[in-house]
Amino acid sequence: MTHADRVVGAVNVVRVPSLAKGRKGRNHLSGLGRWLRIPIMQILVLTVLFSTACGYHTAGHSITLPANVQTIAIPAFVNQTQTYKIEQKLTAAVVREMVTRTHYHVLNEPSDSADATLRGTVISTSTSPLTYDSQTGRASSALVVVTARVTLTDRQGKILYENPSYLFREEYEVSRELSSFFEEDSPALQRLSREFARTLVSNVLEGF
């Protein structure tokens, strides 16, 4: 039984006076009885579920991409962190995701022929341990956070999507030292790049 089920099961019982009295004060409205169960908590739970159904998305502003946008340039992201070559990993993953998932023609550098240009700047990266291996004492899982500034503009400079503090957070298992997570050949960094790209492209295309 889930927490929501237990909450829904907590039903308030309200004593309701007789609605229509006849001989000996009996209620002539069949099926009501002397007690009426009103699921107040159930109504509250359903309200909360509907209000949170949209889920969580990183904050950003966008409009529907115009129909005349057919070519998108994605130049290399700018790296303002000490994480070596992370901008190359993220850029390559975003280009790959855009090519395989959409109908847009993608360019790897700025071009006058591009209908829109997607630019990104990696602002910060961090890792923090979540769980530890009881035998080795090393971190077995970590929370990784990447913050970036992302903007998609058309050829006139109009902003189609903008997020000055794009926050990407994921939990990963760590097979080596935590400090090796952001190494260039780290499998975890490869996974992070793919998931970052998948999330970013979804946000741009779906308007979040």
pLDDT by position in tens, the chain (length 208)? 544 444 444 444 444 444 444 444 444 444 444 444 445 444 444 444 333 333 233 444 444 678 889 999 999 999 999 988 899 999 999 999 999 998 999 999 989 899 999 999 999 998 888 888 888 888 888 888 999 999 999 999 999 999 999 999 888 887 767 777 777 667 778 888 999 999 999 988 876 4
pTM of the model: 0.65
Specify the DSSP class assigned to residue 66: P
Q: Which two tokens stand for residue 114?
A: 């591009």
Instruction: Find tokens 């360019």 and name the residue.
Output: 107
Q: Which two tokens stand for residue 119?
A: 């630019």
CATH topology of domain 61-206: Double Stranded RNA Binding Domain (3.30.160)
Intra-chain end-to-end CA distance of the chain, in Å: 33
Domain extent listing, the chain: 3-51, 61-206
Instruction: Find tokens 């071009």 and name the residue.
Output: 111
Contacts of residue 184, defined as CB under 8 A and 6 or more positions apart, other chains included, come to 84, 85, 89
